[in-house]
Amino acid sequence: MPTLDERVGDVLHAVHLDGLLRATGRVGDSVFSHAGDMALLSWRSASNTLRGNVALHDFIDQAFAMGVQSLPLVMVTAILSGIVTSQQGGYQFTGSIPLYILGSVVTSSVVLELGPVLTAVVVIGRVGARITAELGTMRVSEQIDALYSLGRDPVPVLAAPRILAGMLVMPALVAIANGVGVAAGMVSAQATVGLGAQSFLYGARLFWHSYDLLYSLMKALVFGFVIPVISVHMGLLTRGGAEGVGRSTTASVVFMIIAVLVSDALFPPLFLN
């Protein structure tokens, strides 16, 4: 016969478990609902793009804003990541491992991981947040409703040019970030541990696989798809005035970072084994 304390404990445990399950259900429901909406948005953007419904000037405007205007910040980030990787490697290798290995470590780190991920983080902050805030403001100021009322679909006008621009611009940005990051690492290695350019490049070539560059650009393509899809989706979902725009922009940035990091984590088991 259970005591009163045990019964109360059982009830509390059941209530707690029940609440936990409900919360998990709600989160799961929300995740699947967002995923379904984003899949539909992607499909409709792709079909509008293939049917030629996307205006060239809309695409060029977005590609310019995402690519050319992001380039300075992407380059600064790439230079700093190359320098830091080179200096930390130099610190660890000096006196224990041949220093030319540093060329391989810097190149692999930048091309396989730092170039794509840090460029994605820059684009999330500079472009993804802007897209959500812009579309969110259009939503709360009834401009999206105005498009519908004029018999126009927002997908080819607002979503498709941004997604297409993201997928085409992101690989170019990552390619530039990779080159700049490795070059900065090489210069830094010369300045800090006295490793010459020829030795650095010898080490870089020693473990280089051409596939690494393809892998890096595949990551860029996925990030260039994920960032605009989430930012457009969250912008179009915005409700509730200026406060709502702030809320959805914050949520959008969080979702974009999580999505980039999760897809980044999926790449090695899928493409490096």
Partner 1 sequence: MAVIEYRDVHKAFDVPVLTGVDLTVASGETLSIVGPSGTGKSVLLKTTIALIVPDSGDVVIDGQSVVDADAEQLLEIRRKAGYVFQNAALFDSMNVHDNVSLGLSDAVIRSLGRAEVERRVAEALEDVNLDAALVMRKLPAELSGGMRKRVGLARAIVGRPQILLYDEPVTGLDPVNSAGVDRLISALAERMHVTSIVVTHDIEGAMTISDRIALLEGGKLRFIGTPEEFRHSQEPLVRAFVNREAAFAAAAARSEAGHEGMA
* Residues 1, 141: Cα–Cα separation, whole Å: 64
Give the interface segment with partner 1, choosing from 78-86, 103-111, 150-158, 175-183 (CB under 8 A): 150-158
User: 3, 149, 210, 273: which one contacts partner 1 (CB under 8 A)?
Assistant: 149
Residue of 42, 15, 55, 20 whose CA lies nearest to 231: 42
Residue 271: count other Cβ atoms within 10 Å of its Cβ: 12
Return the structure tokens found at 189: 């290695």
- Give min distance, CB of 54 to partner 1, in A: 13
- Give min distance, CB of 142 to partner 1, in A: 4
Question: How many residues lie near partner 1 (CB under 8 A)?
Answer: 11
- Give min distance, CB of 144 to partner 1, in A: 9
Q: Verify binding: residue 150, partner 1, rule CB under 8 A.
A: yes
Q: Verify binding: residue 145, partner 1, rule CB under 8 A.
A: yes
Give residues 232-261 in contact with partner 1 (rule: CB under 8 A): none
Residue 173: count other Cβ atoms within 10 Å of its Cβ: 26
Residue 84: count other Cβ atoms within 10 Å of its Cβ: 17
Distances 246 to 132, 230, 232 between C-alpha atoms, Å: 9, 15, 15
User: 33, 47, 69, 141: which one contacts partner 1 (CB under 8 A)?
Assistant: 141
Type of residue found at 228: P
Q: Verify binding: residue 57, partner 1, rule CB under 8 A.
A: no
* Residues 154, 162: Cα–Cα separation, whole Å: 12
User: 52, 95, 151, 269: which one contacts partner 1 (CB under 8 A)?
Assistant: 151
Q: Which residues in this chain contact partner 1 in the complex, by CB under 8 A?
A: 141-143, 145-152
